[in-house]
Homo-oligomer: A and B are copies of this chain.
């Protein structure tokens, strides 16, 4: 399973050990972990099992109350404690960008009419501001000193990310309202993305036109299929190409 799930389950067992799966599940769900990590019921029981197989957890025993399903209780092994420390460290030291559900939308934004894009952006901004306010409100109201850090810092990070997204959305909104970019149904924009104009040329084996898509710092020298330039002169999957 993903290292997030491993860390979360390991951490949860570590706190409450010995615990059984259902308790871990309730705990994790009470953290709203389903909203920022992959923790569906099945994932938890699976994590418990596979980490037991890997020697990170061990079964303390099983009990049964009435005719209910048996409960299996787990606790960390020494290995598990090591792995927990290691995963926690990794999480904090490795800087990873979160998987962003909006990215695909951005890459394909040109396929939307400008009016809708503008409307959607306005909606996103308003919505995000609402969520922002509500989160801030929770922080301000929150009094339990015991879970100060976990809850408040989580909320603060959420707010910070929201702020970032709101700022970006405003900028893009301004650009779109100013007529920047070419969206669906405009000028030379392609409506359905059918075979590109100019696709007549039989895609000659050009040597290696640079295709600078998000050429960032991290992970230099990947061995993945290197971008091959397409007919049309190294476009990055863009829709445009005047006929």
Interface residues of A (CB under 8 A from B): 4, 7-8, 11-12, 14-18, 22, 25-27, 29-38, 81, 84-85, 88-89, 91-93, 95-112, 116-117, 120-121, 123-124, 127-128, 130-131, 134-135, 138, 141-142, 144, 146-151, 153-165, 167-168, 171-172, 181, 192-196, 211-218, 224-228, 230, 233-241
Contacts and interface: CB of A to CB of B under 8 A. Distances in A.
Given A12-B237, A236-B150, A96 B101 contact: yes
A236 B103 contact: no
Nearest to A27: B237
Given A14-B193, A38-B99, A97-B161, A154 B8 contact: no
Contact of A150 (B26, B106, B144, B196): B106
- Chain B CB within 10 Å, residue with most, of A33, A149, A240: A149
What is the predominant secondary structure among interface residues of chain A facing chain B?
A: helix
29 contacts: A14-B192, A14-B193, A22-B225, A25-B225, A26-B228, A30-B226, A30-B227, A36-B103, A37-B100, A37-B103, A38-B99, A85-B111, A88-B112, A92-B105, A92-B120, A92-B121, A92-B124, A95-B123, A98-B101, A106-B153, A107-B150, A131-B217, A138-B212, A146-B240, A149-B181, A160-B168, A161-B165, A161-B168, A164-B164
